[in-house]
Amino acid sequence: MARIMVVDDSMFMRRILTSILTEIGHEVVAEATNGQHAIQLFTNNPIDLILMDITMPEKSGLSALKEIKQIDESVKVIMISAMGQQFFIQDALSSGADDFVVKPFQKDRVQEAVNRVLNKR
């Protein structure tokens, strides 16, 4: 069981992801509404994996990803966004993301990404 933080400005998306993650046996220990909030929560909680939206107010997921990786480069991060363009995928992966899931997503795709990233340790 991994300790996971879900980061998305949409409460609906956070609930869906939390439901999927708990259903597949993980613990969601933190939820953040934007990148800045994610950085604050990350520094105060032991977290194994972050699922984070790219487009959010105050601080984007890409900016937060870069800062979080500077704090702890070993943390696993899966970026989630409706923006499936190649540029965003490449930018997220080159910034340290371990995988990228495009919205709308199926439970199976989230589970596959989580399992793959956590088993990559």
CATH number of the domain residue 23 falls in: 3.40.50.2300
- pLDDT for res 81: 85
- pLDDT for res 116: 96
Question: Higher confidence at residue 103 or residue 84?
Answer: 103
Average pLDDT over residues 72-99: 87
Give the pLDDT confidence of 13-56 residue by residue, as tens digits.
Answer: 999 999 999 999 999 999 999 999 999 999 988 999 999 999 89
Alpha-carbon distance of 89 to 81, in angstroms, equals: 9
**CB contact at 8 A, 64 and 96:** no
**CB contact at 8 A, 61 and 52:** yes
Dihedral, CA of residue 104, residue 13, residue 35 and residue 77, to nearest 10: -60
Percent of the chain with pLDDT strictly greater than 70: 96
Q: Label the pairing between strands 99-102 and 3-7.
A: unpaired
Residue of 52, 73, 74 whose CA lies nearest to 120: 74
Percent of the chain with pLDDT strictly greater than 90: 79
Could you list the residue range(s) of the whole structural domain that residue 92 is in?
3-118
Give the pLDDT confidence of 54-65 residue by residue, as tens digits.
Answer: 989 899 999 999
The structural domain count of the chain equals 1
Q: How is residue 69 written in tokens?
A: 């990786």
